Chain A
Amino acid sequence: MTKIKLENISYVYSPGTPYEVTALNDVSVDITEGTITGIIGHTGSGKSTLVQLLNGLEKPSSGRVLVDGTDIWEKPKEISKVRFKVGLVMQYPEYQLFEETIKEDIAFGPRNMGLDEAEIEERIALASSFVGLDEELLEKSPFDLSGGQKRRAAIAGIIAMKPDVLVLDEPAAGLDPLGRDEIFKSIVKYRNETGATVVIVSHSMEDMARLCDELIVMAHSKVVMQGNCREVFSNAGELEKIGLSIPQVTKLMMLLKEKGVCVDGGVYTVKDAVSELAKLFKIDH
């Protein structure tokens, strides 16, 4: 079932001025309920503008954003309801922590939703357990936490609103491998346990290959490809032309194929590559 539908969306920054820039040009995309959908594209391709349209943070210049079949701008005064339903974690969200304690920061969203204190407490506990934040950290000031912990606290603040759709703009940027894995684990856990739809923007093809069911590829303000990882990563030449790359695994398999080795060139995870090569070496795997 389609959770989010973008219909002929265009978005123009500073229209009518000399600085007019078209960030999105007639974009139509469907995002299926319960999937983890990745958005990839070069810097300035329109990815971040697109995700900011999903929760009504930006309003399209033309076209419609449908969530569960309803145009989110049908009743502009009720746009805040959309923001509870579609939670957006922006780039470097740890810079937006503003409360005196982590706990209060996580409580900000649920409190705005008008929930009672008991429910808010429950949400804080739930959200912090999803992202793996220890209880003792909740009473601390954001200044006393490491970068990775602050990032997780910021994500917890969105998860505490129990959004149907969790949108994350480069959630792992600047984190080391351990920090990155922790964030991704909590995102997958949230999807698996709540059935939520997840949309992730990332520059790492390896991460996207590992995580995503579906990929949307953007270039020059347009969607140029959409499909599962296998379909998208099989277009290596096309991706490189628009400033993107393919996972190292896929590169290896394609190179082997070029050298005349009989392997599937569309493999994109280490696990699949190992089974594919094991077959070649005639090993039971």
Chain B
Amino acid sequence: MEKNFIEIENLSYAYDEDEGDKVPVLNGISLNISKGEYVAVLGHNGSGKSTLAKLLNMILTPTSGKIIVDGVDITSDELTEDAMFELRKKVVMVFQNPDNQLVATIVEEDVAFGPENLGYPSEEIRKRVDEALRTVGMSEYAHHEPHRLSGGQKQRIAIAGIIAMSPECIIFDESTSMLDPSGRKDVLNTMEKLNKEKGITVVTITHYMNEAAQADRVVVIDDGRILMDGTPAEIFSKPDVLRNAGLDVPQCSAIVEELKKLGVPLDGDCYSTELCAELICNYLTNVQGL
């Protein structure tokens, strides 16, 4: 792995309540993310995962602790506006609601909004917009009106608008939760493509297990702390911990868990349909000789 792209050191955040009360949301989180990693952050509502995303994108500033992005302390008081501008180009966010992220009346103008603001010459903008739309598979919609697209298509336009700014890291904050199954699949495929083909660091914040299963690494947050950090296989082999953290267990893992309780000695990864079917078939051939 390359050097750390994001270093989070002992990060805490508390919201202000009425009468000066503080409500702690994050309690001393430390986490390193390398360049090119694909990380899923799992947690129930109120676990602190969205607050973490907002801190990473400087929408919020921490109560204590530090975040270093690409060697720059983004939580420092001395951070200049220019430096902040540079950082916001490097780390960008895709939000939950596709309707809240589109600004223009024509798809390609919407995608051009970011690079225009960054002051690129018009030929460069043209090139970036075309390339970005191609990456998300929406080229044929360049002249359509965004509000007539489906949720999944809108989300992909929002992503295209972000890629056009060539960021190094994209944070997806529950970006598939309002989409139908095919829209979700399209956005998930786009995430994977951006990571594997373009080398963009992807951090996806979610409570969907299948989304986390697709990542290289899963970080589970509960009660403002990191509960688990590992590969999907490691995380999903602990169904009880997931349930206690208010999360689901993939149905396949739940089936294997129940069968084990009934005395079937199944041992191996089983969080995806394919892995689970393989595990069961191998058991049948080896043990029962069927």
Contact = CB atoms under 8 A, between A and B. Distances in A.
18 contacts: A42-B181, A146-B45, A174-B177, A175-B45, A176-B246, A177-B207, A177-B247, A179-B44, A203-B180, A243-B182, A244-B182, A245-B181, A255-B274, A259-B277, A270-B251, A274-B262, A277-B259, A281-B264
A173 B184 CA distance: 13
A252 interface: yes
B255 A174 contact: no
Given A146-B46, A274-B259, A281-B288, 11 more contacts: A43-B180, A173-B178, A174-B177, A176-B247, A177-B246, A178-B246, A243-B182, A248-B251, A248-B252, A249-B255, A277-B259
Contacts of B152: 43
Interface string B175-189: 001111111100000
Contacts of A75: none
Interface in B258-290: 258-259, 262-264, 273-274, 276-277, 280-281, 284, 288
Contacts of A252: 251-252, 255, 273, 276-277
Interface of A: 42-44, 146-148, 173-179, 203, 205-206, 243-245, 247-249, 251-252, 255-256, 259, 261, 270, 273-274, 277-278, 280-281, 283, 285
Contact of A43 (B150, B174, B248): B150
A256 B252 CA distance: 12
A94 to B, nearest CB: 13
Interface of B: 44-46, 96, 150-152, 174, 177-184, 207, 210, 246-248, 250-252, 254-255, 258-259, 262-264, 273-274, 276-277, 280-281, 284, 288
A255 B281 CA distance: 10
A277 B180 contact: no
Contacts of A42: 150, 180-182
A99 to B, nearest CB: 20
